[in-house]
Amino acid sequence: MSSARHDVLTIGNAIVDVIAHADEAFLAKFGVVKGSMTLIGADLAETLYAAMGPATIVSGGSAANTAVGVASLGGRGAYIGKIRNDSVGDIFAHDIRASGISFDTPRAVDGPATARCFVLVTPDGERTMNTYLGACQNLTEADIDPATVSGAKITYLEGYLWDPPAAKVAFRKAAEIAHAAGREVSLTLSDSFCVDRYRAEFRDLVCTGMVDLLFANEHELKSLYETADFETALAAVRSEARRAVVTRSEAGAIAVAGSETVSVPAFPIERLVDTTGAGDHFAAGYLFGHTTGRSPEAALRLGALAASHVIQTLGARPQVELKALAEENGLY
Amino acid sequence: MSSARHDVLTIGNAIVDVIAHADEAFLAKFGVVKGSMTLIGADLAETLYAAMGPATIVSGGSAANTAVGVASLGGRGAYIGKIRNDSVGDIFAHDIRASGISFDTPRAVDGPATARCFVLVTPDGERTMNTYLGACQNLTEADIDPATVSGAKITYLEGYLWDPPAAKVAFRKAAEIAHAAGREVSLTLSDSFCVDRYRAEFRDLVCTGMVDLLFANEHELKSLYETADFETALAAVRSEARRAVVTRSEAGAIAVAGSETVSVPAFPIERLVDTTGAGDHFAAGYLFGHTTGRSPEAALRLGALAASHVIQTLGARPQVELKALAEENGLY
């Protein structure tokens, strides 16, 4: 195995977030489930935007946020995702490159516009997402550059990639290249409704060993194993996955691998602003720790720290250098 | 005088802010003066954006921010400013309308793109602005709707309107319509370098009574009267202006009208994030108080409160309802 060019490659839906405050009545009016991610078409996207309050626009996309988190911690990150050659695509490309991430996926020159996620933040800080996938539909296996995949210590893929049909083929190709190069593959389950849509396929990825490291939050894990009991779900993932990291919001996080169990508390926060990106940044912290030879406990603590920062900001990208924050907290 | 449709009409350069953190070295590299507003062309805008860090995009424009502040306090606001029919223009139009402001200025269908301001926020929270005026160059007197002007209790104009050449004609037309309808006219000096560029014209507007209410910060006032001494500048504006409101950052603010003097302290803050929009929101609070029959002291206090909120957020638009904030603080 040659030396790695990147610590972490992430692959996902390339999305720009359009974030506004909203009340519960607004969610009810549009029939969206609080805390979840709903796919919407171009027409509903336009209707929803027109009805939303004044917005803040920040690049997003789950796996892209994770790559940015890795880079902010001092890791070497790369990203693969599909945008169009439009002004929203310009925003996405600028921000991810300005964050120090290698991003060379060819842009679509026609077809649907760059994806946007309309994020509604309720007064309790919870985020509800409505995603117009647009150009993400055009991510195909041709976009998976073998040198980039084999040059990364770990390739991290988002479950949301199961939504655009061609992307799952790209996902499998990336996983095969990574393993052929002796690298690791990681998957996040993304969202409990996403697990509902693709449960059998996700379990297959875990059971067959196509995924070495699984990320899930408590709700997603319970959905994967169709149980309301966390301990049952944890026992199931322990028996099926090589290694799994499970986040439980303010109850902290736990990593399991065979009989090994490591857990850490949540990192304390001053004020919850917006939960968008919490899971993405937990993964960033863990992946950075994991690929730089830190212990599972140290990796979990970095995850908890990164998540605690991003939920105190609007949007899913860090507003400070996470490396400096980790140093201040004696975690680097 | 018929009853007013709006409390405050503001007219200014319609701009979307692209905000990134930057260090002092970055400012030095681009030769920009910290804390000021510099006009840039399309080429430099592209170069600067490519070199900037990851950005947050929020609608801005000085007078537009003020209109939004007035509406957030519960006032009735209208806005006139020029955008193009492009995606950045869509962002501007969405946000100002979603904030409850009447905005009906016809969009340019060709010519330069909607204006963007590249805002660099240094670690001390100070903002340095680089503005590509674009479509603002096309604001003309034809865009000044007489019914809108005569239907507003006060028309507030930004000094920045002197930068796009055709806009000053629009400015004068608006002031004349307002006065003919028995309404008031207000001007903010905007920026000390802006005062440097147009000092004689601004003094003429004040001396001839075309402006009833002048807003300035300490630096702008000193620049207007070419003195380093604040008391000298204050005495000068007292003798020349009908009424002037002068802000002094953490030293509070003062309103003078003839021999009358009212001053208030700055409103305490927890954490300075970004000074962008401080002056705009001070004006919003004062204008709201002034047009709803509050005393100069009450109006100043509302200004100080609104400014204190916006400097604790990234960008120049409020993240909470200012009316509720004023109520919580016993100022409504």
Percent of chain A with pLDDT strictly greater than 90: 98
Looking at residue A317, what is its pLDDT?
A: 95
User: Which residue type sits at B255?
Assistant: A
Per-residue pLDDT for A29 more than 90? yes
List A108's β-bridge partners, or say none: A84
B240 in any annotated domain: yes
User: Would you write out chain B's pLDDT as a tens digit for each of its 332 residues?
Assistant: 678 999 999 999 999 999 999 999 999 999 999 999 999 999 999 999 999 999 999 999 999 999 999 999 999 999 999 999 999 999 999 999 999 999 999 999 999 999 999 999 999 999 999 999 999 999 999 999 999 999 999 999 999 999 998 999 999 999 999 999 999 999 999 999 999 999 999 999 999 999 999 999 999 999 999 999 999 999 999 999 999 999 999 999 999 999 999 999 999 999 899 999 999 999 999 999 999 999 999 999 999 999 999 999 989 999 999 999 999 999 99
Residue A57, min C-alpha distance to chain B (Å): 5
A210 in any annotated domain: yes
Chain B interface includes A94 (CB < 8 A): yes
A1 in any annotated domain: no
B169 in any annotated domain: yes
* Chain B residues lying within 8 Å of A50, measured CB to CB: 94
Cα distances (Å, whole numbers) of residue B72 to A328, B66, B75, B256, B292: 38, 10, 7, 26, 14
Tally of domains within chain A: 1
Per-residue pLDDT for A219 more than 70? yes
d(CA A16, CA B69): 27
Query: Is A86's CB within 8 Å of B88's CB?
Result: no
B315 in any annotated domain: yes
A123-137 average pLDDT score: 95
| pTM listed for this prediction | 0.95
A332 in any annotated domain: no
Per-residue pLDDT for A253 more than 70? yes
Cα distances (Å, whole numbers) of residue A276 to A37, A65, B214, B222: 11, 10, 42, 45
Q: What is the DSSP letter of A142?
A: G
d(CA A319, CA A332): 18
A27-31 average pLDDT score: 94
Alpha helical stretches, state H, B208-320: 218-224, 230-240, 278-291, 296-310
Query: Is B319's CB within 8 Å of A53's CB?
Result: no
* Number of cross-chain residue pairs from A and B with Cβ atoms under 8 Å apart: 60
Residue A244, min C-alpha distance to chain B (Å): 31
* Chain A residues lying within 8 Å of B55, measured CB to CB: 91, 94-95, 98
Phi and psi (nearest 5°) for A275?
A: -75, -5
Smallest CA–CA distance from A54 into chain B, residue: B95
**Residue B101: partners with Cβ closer than 8 Å, 6 or more residues away:** B64, B67, B68, B71, B77, B78, B79
Cα distances (Å, whole numbers) of residue A286 to A8, A207, A332: 11, 22, 12
Mutate: best of A95, A96, A116, partner B, most B CBs <10 A: A95
- Beta strands B260-264 and B253-257 are antiparallel
Phi and psi (nearest 5°) for A232?
A: -65, -45
Is residue B325 helix, strand or coil?
A: helix
Residue B54, min C-alpha distance to chain A (Å): 4
B73 in any annotated domain: yes
Q: Which helix (H) or strand (E) holds B201?
A: helix B192-207
Alpha helical stretches, state H, chain A: 24-29, 42-51, 62-72, 87-98, 146-150, 167-180, 192-207, 218-224, 230-240, 278-291, 296-310, 322-328
CATH number at residue B85: 3.40.1190.20
Looking at residue A2, what is its pLDDT?
A: 72
**Cβ pair B47, B71 in contact under 8 A:** no
Per-residue pLDDT for A181 more than 90? yes
Mutate: best of B46, B47, B57, partner A, most A CBs <10 A: B57
Nearest residue to A69 (alpha-carbon basis) of A276, A266, A296 = A276
Domain residues for the domain of B226 are 6-12+62-103+138-328
A138-166 average pLDDT score: 96
Confidence band for A1, pLDDT divided at 50, 70 and 90: low
User: Which residue type sits at A158?
Assistant: E
* Chain B residues lying within 8 Å of A86, measured CB to CB: 87
- Residue among B55, B58, B91 whose CB faces A95 most closely: B55
Looking at residue B142, what is its pLDDT?
A: 97
Nearest residue to B99 (alpha-carbon basis) of B120, B73, B71 = B71
d(CA A274, CA A312): 6
User: Considering only residues 46 to 75 of chain B, which have any Cβ-Cβ distance to chain A shorter than 8 Å?
Assistant: 49-50, 52-59, 68
Phi and psi (nearest 5°) for B16?
A: -105, 130
Smallest CA–CA distance from A47 into chain B, residue: B94
Give the mean pLDDT of chain A: 96
* Chain A residues lying within 8 Å of B88, measured CB to CB: 87
A182 or A314, which is more confident? A182
B266 in any annotated domain: yes
* Chain A residues lying within 8 Å of B57, measured CB to CB: 56-58, 91
Nearest residue to A161 (alpha-carbon basis) of A181, A180, A141, A177 = A141
* Chain A residues lying within 8 Å of B317, measured CB to CB: 54
* Chain B residues lying within 8 Å of A88, measured CB to CB: 87
